[in-house]
Amino acid sequence: MIKFFLMVNKQGQTRLSRYYEHVEINKRTMLEAEVVKTCLSRSKDQCSFIEYKDFKLVYRQYAALFIVVGINETENEMAVYELIHNFVEVLDKYFSRVIMFNLDRVHIILDEMVLNGCIVETNRNRILAPLLVLDKVAES
Amino acid sequence: MKECMVRLIYCEMLGYESSFGYIHAIKLAQQGNLLEKRVGYLAVSLFLHENHELLLLLVNTVVKDLQSTNLVEVCMALTIVSQIFPREMIPAVLPLIEDKLQHSKEIIRRKAVQALYKFYVIAPNQVQHIHDKFRKALCDRDAGVMAASLHIYLQMIKENSSGYKDLTGCFVSILKQVVGGKLPIDFNYHSVPAPWLQIQLLRILGLLGKDDPRTSELMYDVLDESLRRAELNHNITYAILFECVQTIYTIYPKSELLEKAAKCIGKFVLSPKINLKYLGLKALTYVIQQDPNLALQHQMTIIECLDHPDPIIKRETLELLYRITNGQNVIVIVQKMLDYLKESREEYTIIKLVGKIAELAEKYAPDNEWFIQTMNAVFSVGGDVMHPDIPNNFLRLLAEGFDDGKEDNQLRIYAVQSYVALLGEEDALYPQKFLQVMSWVLGEYSSLVTDVDPEVILTKLHSLLKRTFVTSETKAWIMAAVTKLASRTSCSKTIDKVIQEFSNSLDTCMRQYAFELKHLCEDKTLMKNLLPFDASCNDMVVDASLSFLDGFVAEGLGRGAAPYKPHHQRQEEKLSREKALNFEPYGLSFVSSVSSSGVTGRQSPTGLSFGSDTSGNSAETGHKETNTLKLEGVRKLWGKEGCWIPGVSGTLSEQSRPNNCYVCVSGGSLLVGQVSDPPALRSDQVASLSEEDKEKQQLASTLFIGLGSNAGVSLMGKADTATQKFKRKSKINETRDGEEASDFQNTAASDFGPLLDTVPTNLEDCEGSIHTRLRKVSLCSSDTVEDNLAFETPQSLKKSGLDDRLSDSGLSRSSLFADSNIEIFQPSPSAQCERASKTPLVPSLPEELEKLTHSEVVELCQSDALALYLCKVWTDDSLLLTVFVSNKTTSALNAVNLMFEEAEPFQILESPTYQFPVIEAQSMEHCQKCVWMDKVCTQGILFGSVNYQSEMETRLEFSITLSLVDFIRPMEMTTEDFGKLWLSLSNDVKQNIKMSSSQDSLSAALNTLHQKLKLSIVDIIGNEGILACQLLPSVPCLLHCRTHSGMLALWFRSPCSALPDGLLYQCQKVMEESS
């Protein structure tokens, strides 16, 4: 099970957050701050999986951006690690190399991929299909 | 508006509460154009949680969008439903979503399945009826829809794997196709076909094949193929491989596959990539208990990982070592853990690790000194964050001791000495918990130590009392210690000083202690009586009835005081005095009873609505009550008299008394034969190694000692666990000690070179350590000793021990068995025709149980030697599972152990195990277990196993499916009581169900419920009826039924929230079946 999905930059600012279990708002900021701190403290040659409290963090760094996913015991760390990359590839395809920060669109993409903490779709074309339709409608 | 909403999302994400905008998100979803709608839904899913009240406002929009002709809108609605939806509104959208399962577009079908998954997770009962539609989704022509349905199946199989074994073939063939690349090319990720789908399928297979050779058989091929195909060098293939390995080790083992999986783990562990190494360690940890050999193969890598710069790798390695700890390597492993503990800062890690160290220390401590030192380290590092059980267990261990008084005292003396030394250190700061432990031990046992002057200890405690960092709770502990010490010394200056100082302390607690101490010091004999030495675990006799106050009470009453009334009585009286309006729907005309009804004046909305709903009828109810009441005759079976002959229940508890004797008679000799050389260390290797490597080798040999002996035959593993259990449970056993010692010598002698220098110390400690290791001692009753006696000479003594017990309880057990034997040879005719051909033995219930309602006898499992049968007996106060064990061989079987796994939702009264001392050839024995349901669920599985020793130790597993109905009993009550109870219950569930033509009258329908579900009918008036039942032991559930236009409206109320849901489902099922 995936517990949360975070995108954070090196300065520790949250760029996107999605929780699959309800967390109070003030607890979220605290959690995010701690998570960023743990991720930043790790060097490149250290393991990308961190045990943190009663769950695990899987993180990946893209330039100045960290993507951190919180998972529980039952999830396969490596599969999540690659899911992050899949997500980034989808973003890459949609935003054609420039991630203009469209918060709503990134959320829509993420919602197609992960629902209720389960990985539901990983096929790039299918992930983007609903969003592309929306864009087409908006244009016309 | 859309822009604003995105900004609002942004604000919320940065941690600023923006609840003012929530309503606008809902509005946007309702009114906006397509893109705005999507953003509105998105905002809702981000802002609101499952139980948010605003969510109800969204339902209408969702329903509208689900019916829309625009596919994009339908998609959005389905997405939001599968993200967040109020549980109670599911019926509003369920039919619409079911329709969508037939939609022509793949995406709609897929999203509908996802929505159903959500419903299954939050309210499984509501989607019970569409399980066949899930199957259809699984066979959908589109891979995406099929993949979506796997989430539901994974969930369902997790809860009950036995119900879905028939789908194994289906999952296997899907996986085969996926692995074979039959999916469209766009499902590939870095040219690996649908990797996440593969992982999902592997997980499902793992769950299905667990402990099931027949099902596992089906999946060996495809697992082999998955392993083979996943050879590409990419992260995602490693993820698949990891899942594969886990599945292979979870299902019933097959040696070829295990070999391949082991090779795979090897590749992971040895990989220079750190993430892979982590996965490798995790896999190793998972498989280590089944295959300790693997740890030996990789011992050098593990040692390297132990010193890895990355703390995460270190921690995972420690987890691995924790699993392989035994009596011989415990010192090294615990040392490594303590080292790690000292470096870590995070509270959560500390709590977890400290718990593990304490557990290992208790279980395997080789000697007193080490144990106390380790616990000291645990207390000083774990401090106040650790689990409170740790100090409690430690103190109990010291107090209860083992059997050898000398050994106990040595441990206590050592503890006292070490604490005196610790307190002697200047300026040392200890955590509060540690100080509490110290003061308790010093108070209780310091008099054991003769070379330390009590005055010295008192001075130390006194100085602690004055320190500021000591909390008042700890001070109370210290004060108690001082008081205890005072009772053992004649007169002491320090005590006088303490009394003087604290008699005028500002802390009232301390002042009281000081006064108590003062008064006690004045009366030394009283003090000695009050504080006897080493009596901390003697039971105190307390007069719970407070009879010594009777005189005082009588005097008070004599002086005219009002008699005491319990709280609830006072409450009731108060309420009845305040009565103004009566809202009570039932029993309106019972004027005499109104005064005690206690619900008058209650104006809660539920009470009112109920009143208005039925008021017309209820007025009638009251008047008709005396002449037209149709009390359906409830069968006397459930009545109090029909149930237990007192003698029988006595016998029962006698039979199911915990039996601590684990059979490991041949353990010692087995060990001797099976110690095998660990493969990794060769003398020639050692020679060529550098100094540093040698060090590592040394470490390895100390770490992995003891695993070698485990690595022999798989049978060995079992024998070993048996001895472990024995160690923990039994109290004394001289013979066992002898075996233990020889066990040590054997392993030690056959172990490899570098170890030899550690052997002597081990042996020396050996004698002393055995008792220390008999730690987790459960307080022993006379039986246990008897069992142990029996153990020494299993054949002869056991019988006499048994006889003793029988004569103790004054019951002739043999006569009881004679009864059952007679019945065995006179089987009931119905059972005979079914089974006579299969087995010579036919189980039947003993007479006294035969009278009660019971199920048919069914076969649970069988092997060459044994067959197990089960009969459920529904007694008044529990579900009685009667298990028959028949011995099919021609020789008697000794010590057959029956064991139930205690797991939710069931609770087994008394002990979950039962031992048949002997089952004669070609005969049958039986035992009974009472079961309750702790957590309400419609159906659950109780797992169990039976162990017996024929040529080798064999274990047979079985499972029993128990339904909620098994635990439902009728509840007899009057209409009046019903009314009262109804209003006091809060959880209610309402549902309309269709009545078929065969049961169109209310009484027919109620009769069905009465017969099938054992609900007792309280009253029927016109088109309304009330029923009552209880979930064992005593959770009531009330049901109000009403017929209108072919529908039966059911309304449940119960103090337990899950019970109405569960019962509703059962009612639906029963009504459907009977129509």
Å from B80 to nearest chain A CA?
A: 10
- In which element (H, E) is residue B258 found? helix B255-270
- Is B147's CB within 8 Å of A29's CB? no
β-partners of residue B360 are none
**Please, are residues B146 and B140 in contact by the beta-carbon 8 Å criterion?**
yes
Best interface-test mutation with A: which of B55, B121, B157, B189 has the largest number of A CBs within 10 A? B189
- CA–CA separation, B515 vs B778, rounded Å? 38
Q: What are phi and psi of B210, to 5 degrees?
A: -60, 125
B839 touches chain A (CB under 8 A): no
pLDDT at residue number B197: 92
B85 touches chain A (CB under 8 A): no
Q: Which strands, in side-by-side order, build the sheet including B924-933?
A: B858-862, B866-874, B879-887, B924-933, B906-908
Among B210-224, B596-610, B765-779, top mean pLDDT goes to: B210-224
Phi-psi region of B684 (alpha: psi -120 to 50; beta: other; left: phi over 0): alpha
Nearest to B485 by CA among B517, B511, B512: B517
Residue type at B271 in one-letter notation:
S
Best interface-test mutation with B: which of A88, A123, A124, A127 has the largest number of B CBs within 10 A? A123
Two tokens at B143? 């891979």
ipTM for the complex shown: 0.95
Task: Examine the pLDDT at B715 and tell me if it is beyond 60.
Answer: no
pLDDT at residue number A82: 92
Helix axes B71-83, B90-100, angle to 10 degrees: 130
In this complex, which of B144, B279, B310 lies closest to A121 when CB atoms are compared?
B144
**Please, are residues B349 and B315 in contact by the beta-carbon 8 Å criterion?**
yes
Mean pLDDT of B405-415: 79
Name every chain B residue with its beta carbon within 8 A of the beta carbon of A16. Answer: 13
Best interface-test mutation with A: which of B28, B153, B275 has the largest number of A CBs within 10 A? B275
- Is A49's CB within 8 Å of B243's CB? no
Least confident of A48-62, B330-344, B590-604, B715-729: B715-729
In this complex, which of B144, B186, B236 lies closest to A124 when CB atoms are compared?
B186
β-partners of residue B868 are B861, B885
At residue B637 the predicted structure's pLDDT band, cuts being 50, 70 and 90, is: very low
Nearest residue on chain A to B16, alpha-carbon basis = A25
Residues of B (457-476) whose Cβ lies below 8 Å from A: none
At residue A85 the predicted structure's pLDDT band, cuts being 50, 70 and 90, is: very high
β-partners of residue B870 are B858, B883
pTM over 0.80: no
pLDDT at residue number B617: 43
Phi-psi region of A53 (alpha: psi -120 to 50; beta: other; left: phi over 0): left
B150 touches chain A (CB under 8 A): no
B847 touches chain A (CB under 8 A): no
Task: Examine the pLDDT at B572 and tell me if it is beyond 80.
Answer: no
Q: What are phi and psi of B735, to 5 degrees?
A: -60, -40
CA B903-B904-B905 angle, 5° bins: 135
* R_g of chain A computed on alpha carbons: 15
Other Cβ atoms within 10 Å of B713 Cβ, number: 14
Q: Is the peptide bond before B195 cis (omega within 30 degrees of 0)?
A: no
- CA–CA separation, B326 vs B308, rounded Å? 24
Say which residues have a Cβ less than 8 Å from residue B612's Cβ, sequence separation at least 6: none
Say which residues have a Cβ less than 8 Å from residue B54's Cβ, sequence separation at least 6: B22, B23, B26, B48
B418 touches chain A (CB under 8 A): no
**Please, are residues B942 and B930 in contact by the beta-carbon 8 Å criterion?**
no
Nearest to B661 by CA among B513, B771, B848, B802: B802
Two tokens at B570? 């006072």
Two tokens at B34? 């397509």
What residue segments make up the domains of chain A, in order of their start?
A: 2-139
The number of angstroms, rounded, from the C-alpha of B5 to the middle of its chain's C-alpha atoms is 45
Among B176-185, B343-352, B1017-1026, top mean pLDDT goes to: B176-185
SS3 content of chain B, % helix, strand, coil (to 5): 60, 10, 25
- CA–CA separation, B120 vs B122, rounded Å? 6
Q: What is the pLDDT of residues B105-152, one digit of tens each?
A: 889 999 999 999 999 988 888 888 888 888 888 888 888 899 999 999
Q: What are phi and psi of B511, to 5 degrees?
A: -60, -45
B122 touches chain A (CB under 8 A): no
- CA–CA separation, B248 vs B287, rounded Å? 10
- CA–CA separation, B370 vs B331, rounded Å? 8
In this complex, which of A25, A48, A83 lies closest to B12 when CB atoms are compared?
A25
Nearest to B969 by CA among B639, B649, B653: B639
Q: What is the pLDDT of residues B655-707, one digit of tens each?
A: 444 443 333 333 333 333 333 444 444 444 444 556 666 777 777 777 776 66
Least confident of B230-234, B686-690, B899-903, B930-934: B686-690
* Percentage above 70 pLDDT, chain A: 96
What's the 3-state SS for A46-97? CCCEEEECCEEEEEEEECCEEEEEEECCCCCHHHHHHHHHHHHHHHHHHCCC
B344 touches chain A (CB under 8 A): no
Least confident of A108-112, B47-51, B811-815: B811-815
Best interface-test mutation with A: which of B4, B7, B9, B13 has the largest number of A CBs within 10 A? B13
**Please, are residues B1053 and B1037 in contact by the beta-carbon 8 Å criterion?**
yes
Q: Is the peptide bond before B678 cis (omega within 30 degrees of 0)?
A: no
- What length does chain B have? 1075
**Please, are residues B585 and B609 in contact by the beta-carbon 8 Å criterion?**
no
pLDDT at residue number B1000: 67
Name every chain B residue with its beta carbon within 8 A of the beta carbon of A26. Answer: 15
Q: Assess if CATH 1.10.10.10 describes domain A2-139.
A: no
Say which residues have a Cβ less than 8 Å from residue B158's Cβ, sequence separation at least 6: B207
Name every chain A residue with its beta carbon within 8 A of the beta carbon of B243. Answer: 76, 79
In this complex, which of A115, A119, A134 lies closest to B38 when CB atoms are compared?
A134
At residue B538 the predicted structure's pLDDT band, cuts being 50, 70 and 90, is: low
Å from B312 to nearest chain A CA?
A: 6
B1020-1026: Cβ within 8 A, 24+ apart: B1020/B630, B1020/B632, B1021/B617, B1021/B620, B1021/B621, B1021/B624, B1021/B628, B1022/B617, B1022/B620, B1024/B614, B1024/B617, B1026/B586, B1026/B975, B1026/B978
- CA–CA separation, B364 vs B394, rounded Å? 14
Nearest to B611 by CA among B650, B585, B647: B585
State the DSSP string of B192-237.
EE-HHHHHHHHHHHHHHHBT-HHHHHHHHHHHHHHHHHTTSSSHHH
**Please, are residues B926 and B916 in contact by the beta-carbon 8 Å criterion?**
no
- CA–CA separation, B667 vs B791, rounded Å? 12
- Is A47's CB within 8 Å of B242's CB? no
Say which residues have a Cβ less than 8 Å from residue B327's Cβ, sequence separation at least 6: B364, B366, B706, B769, B773
- CA–CA separation, B220 vs B1049, rounded Å? 51
β-partners of residue B1043 are B1048
Task: Examine the pLDDT at B614 and tell me if it is beyond 60.
Answer: no
Å from B208 to nearest chain A CA?
A: 16
Neighbour-count burial for B1036-1067, b at 16+ CB within 10 Å, e otherwise: bbbbbbbbeeeebebbbbbebebbbbbbbbbb
The rounded mean pLDDT for chain B is 73
Nearest residue on chain B to A124, alpha-carbon basis = B186
pLDDT at residue number B964: 82
Give start and end residues of each alpha helix (H) in B754-891: 759-773, 782-792, 794-809, 813-825, 829-835, 847-850
The rounded mean pLDDT for chain A is 87
pLDDT at residue number B998: 63
